[in-house]
């Protein structure tokens, strides 16, 4: 269907020179407690990579510029910024532009924060202008960047995009995407346990023809996820992709959420997809290192 489309949309496995992070010190939410994690992460990033670090105050800006003088680092101050999920909110990075959907996560209590996500959408344009220095093409769909994985020919996403855009039919959604992204879309029915619906929790392209796919042990609490992964494997095989099993052992831990605070229930299962959703920086791979559920500080492993 699409001709001469190679390298039009950047991939996670291509060579890079730049990396954008948000440093959560003085953020207006619980992300600030992750500042120590980000210190460790920045230390492990190869020194030849140009770092763009987003902060929301001058004190943090000055601290980072002084602390990491041995790094190639540009610190960008954006007043009011307090979002760490840059992949999700910035958009899809193509060779000559950023295709930017409307970022408004449709899960849990996030529906109550429309003004917050409106500000994230507005301020994220500054990041595109300052760091990526590309023009913006606005995709008229609600769509999280974490639900987009691609090689040079296709991109994968879960059917959460259908839920997020209920006023449109599936064919209308696919036609809109085709106008902006010159790749063949594959929509995968998500696991019933997956509240977030991000495809990058289970798969990671490591080359044009190879994918890492999560492989879970046979445990009762993982049954639905295992069924999902079995069906996902068949889809990938149909696309003639080489599958590399990425063995993982999620813990049966839940994260409590504001919307269920009164009933003591929980929305999110933690530690599912955290290893497959790794950070590849040329010849360096950085993955999270988790120990016990009671550990206060997650670690980082570099390979």
Q: 75 - beta bridge partners?
A: 53
Instruction: Confirm whether 252 is domain-assigned.
Output: yes
Instruction: Confirm whether 277 is domain-assigned.
Output: yes
Token pair in block for residue 30? 């619980």
pLDDT digits (tens, 9 = 90+) for 73-103: 999 999 999 999 999 999 999 999 999 999 9
Helix ranges (H only) for 132-181 are: 160-164, 170-180
Instruction: Confirm whether 205 is domain-assigned.
Output: yes
Instruction: Confirm whether 143 is domain-assigned.
Output: yes
Residue 137 — pLDDT band, cuts 50, 70, 90? very high
Going by C-alpha positions, the residue among 77, 78, 75, 100 that lies closest to residue 89 is 100
Residues 280, 206 contacting (CB under 8 angstroms)? yes
* Residue 169 pLDDT greater than 50, yes or no: yes
Residues 161, 170 contacting (CB under 8 angstroms)? no
Instruction: Confirm whether 13 is domain-assigned.
Output: no
Give the range of the structural domain holding residue 252, as residue numbers without chain letter. Answer: 18-302
CATH number at residue 193: 3.75.10.10
Instruction: Give the pLDDT confidence score for residue 174 in this predicted structure.
Output: 96
pLDDT digits (tens, 9 = 90+) for 41-57: 999 999 999 999 999 99
The position carrying tokens 């429309």 is 114
* Residue 270 pLDDT greater than 90, yes or no: no
Instruction: Confirm whether 36 is domain-assigned.
Output: yes
Instruction: Confirm whether 5 is domain-assigned.
Output: no
Instruction: Give the pLDDT confidence score for residue 30 in this predicted structure.
Output: 84
Instruction: Confirm whether 4 is domain-assigned.
Output: no
Query: How many structural domains does the chain have?
Result: 1
Query: 85-122: buried (b, 16+ CB within 10 Å) or exposed (e) per residue?
Result: bbbbbbbbbbeebbbbbbbbbebbebeeeeeebeebbe
Residue 301 — pLDDT band, cuts 50, 70, 90? low
**What is the spatial distance between Cα 90 and Cα 86, in angstroms, rounded to a whole number?**
6
* Residue 211 pLDDT greater than 50, yes or no: yes
């Amino acid at each position: 269907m699409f001709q001469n489309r190679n390298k039009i949309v950047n991939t996670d496995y291509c060579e890079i020179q730049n990396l954008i992070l948000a440093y959560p010190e003085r953020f207006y939410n619980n992300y600030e407690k992750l500042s120590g994690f980000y210190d460790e992460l920045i230390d492990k990033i190869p020194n030849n990579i140009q770092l763009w670090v987003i902060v929301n105050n001058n004190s943090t800006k000055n601290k980072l510029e002084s602390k990491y003088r041995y790094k190639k680092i540009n610190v960008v101050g954006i007043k009011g910024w307090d979002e760490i999920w840059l992949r999700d909110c910035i958009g899809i990075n193509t060779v000559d532009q950023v295709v930017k959907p409307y970022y408004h996560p449709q899960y849990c209590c996030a529906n109550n924060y429309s003004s917050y996500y409106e500000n994230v959408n507005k301020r994220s344009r500054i990041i595109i202008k300052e760091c990526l220095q590309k023009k913006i093409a606005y995709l008229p769909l609600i769509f999280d960047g974490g639900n987009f994985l691609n090689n040079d020919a296709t991109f994968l996403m879960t059917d959460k995009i259908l839920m997020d855009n209920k006023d449109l039919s599936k064919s209308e959604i696919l036609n809109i995407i085709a106008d902006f992204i010159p790749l063949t879309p594959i929509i995968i029915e998500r696991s019933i346990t997956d509240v977030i619906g991000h495809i990058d929790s289970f798969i990671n392209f490591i080359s044009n023809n190879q994918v890492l796919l999560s492989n879970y042990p046979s445990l009762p609490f993982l049954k639905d996820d295992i069924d999902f992964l079995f069906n996902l494997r068949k889809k990938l095989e149909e696309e003639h992709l080489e599958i590399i099993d990425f063995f993982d052992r999620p813990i049966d831990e839940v994260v409590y959420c504001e919307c269920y605070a009164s009933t003591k229930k929980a929305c999110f299962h933690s530690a599912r997809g955290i290893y497959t959703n790794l950070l590849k920086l040329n010849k360096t791979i950085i993955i999270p290192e988790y120990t016990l559920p009671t550990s206060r500080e997650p670690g980082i492993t570099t390979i």
